[in-house]
Structure 1
Amino acid sequence: MKKSLMLYLFILAILMNVFTYMFYSREVKFGEERYEKTTKKLRDSINLVSTKLAEADYFSLANNENAQNYFDNSATGGKLIQYEKLIPVVTEKLFDLNSNPNGNPYTGQDKIEDKKFIINKVKILNHRWIIADYSNGELWGEVLLKYFVNDDESISFEINQSLLYQK
């Protein structure tokens, strides 16, 4: 009886070891497959986001070599204007005009019910165009501006088109 009990316990221990080995080996394989699938999905997502970002940034002074070359006036005897430094200067100049008591004059809109229009977002498209988003807290709109870098390195703006959305 004692011998058969030891034999049953030995067989049971071997079976437990076999099942445990099979479970952990398949768990590792399953974990590796899951890791590969997740990694592939993440790479695809990163590629998709990178592509969308490149498409969204297509109209941007930072990515337009022809517009950047416009500021290289050194060949014609003028000064070289670095576009990397120009972008924040132009943006800051537009935002500084928001402090005007009548609102930003380059929104193309007058005050409505004592609420002034101010520019919220700016995107410099190339060496000549800017698109900006503006609002007065209730109404929203967009404006297309022309900008010029004068010889004295001052910046001037001109409204090309302004659009105010309905409520």
Structure 2
Amino acid sequence: MKNVILYALIFSLLFNVFQYINSTKILEAKDKEVVKVKDRLKISRDSVATLANANYFALESDQDAQEYFYSNGLDYQKIAIKVKEDLITLNENKNGNKLVPYEPIDGKPFLINTSKVLNHRWIIAEFSSGEFWGQILIKYFVSEGKPTEFETVETVLYEKQTKE
């Protein structure tokens, strides 16, 4: 009987040591995992903050510009879509978009590729002819029932990149 009790005591001691070592390893692994998740969460929060700052100049985040449209009985989301469509419609001219003040180069007209409505008055857009490209700042005016009026404020044309 003494041997059985002695074996049971040794077995329970070994079992407890095994459980302690195993739980310590599991706890350390979970701690490492928590640290990794916290690091990823910090990186994600920083990315979200960067994106929020990057979208600072946008009609969607400019309460004053939105209020300007609402006070005139207009929906800013519909206006943004209409303005972009009207801007792209100007690309249908065979000499290129009339807002881009550059003549076609090698027969390739300058067309507006993409644009962003900054607020209730300005748009920034990127244009190109295939080889040359640039950016343009446009002032726009919206009137109900009329096409959008555009006025070029400033443009930048980048030099053609040469391969070295």
After TM superposition, the score normalised by the length of structure 1 is: 0.79
Matched residue SS, 2:99: helix
Runs of 4+ with >6 A deviation:
none
1:135 aligns with 2:122: no
Q: 1:151 and 1:89 mapped to 2: Cα distance?
A: 11
1:69 match? 67
> Any conservation in 2 of the 1:108–1:143 contact (CA below 8 Å)?
no
1:33 match? 31
Q: 2:137 and 2:56 mapped to 1: Cα distance?
A: 17
1:85 match? 78
Unaligned runs of 5+ in 2: 1-6
Q: 2:146 and 2:30 mapped to 1: Cα distance?
A: 60
Q: How big is the shift at 1:63?
A: 1.1
Unaligned runs of 5+ in 1: 1-6, 75-79
Aligned identity (percent) is 36
1:56 match? 54
1:54-91, Cα deviation, whole Å (9 max, x unpaired): 111111111111111211345xxxxx110011112211
Count of matched residue pairs: 154
Shift of the 162–124 alpha-carbon distance from structure 1 to 2, 3 Å rule, reads same
Q: 1:19 and 1:121 mapped to 2: Cα distance?
A: 67
Moved more, 55-64 or 147-156: 147-156
Residue identity in the other structure for 1:109: Y
Shift of the 139–20 alpha-carbon distance from structure 1 to 2, 3 Å rule, reads farther
After TM superposition, the score normalised by the length of structure 2 is: 0.81
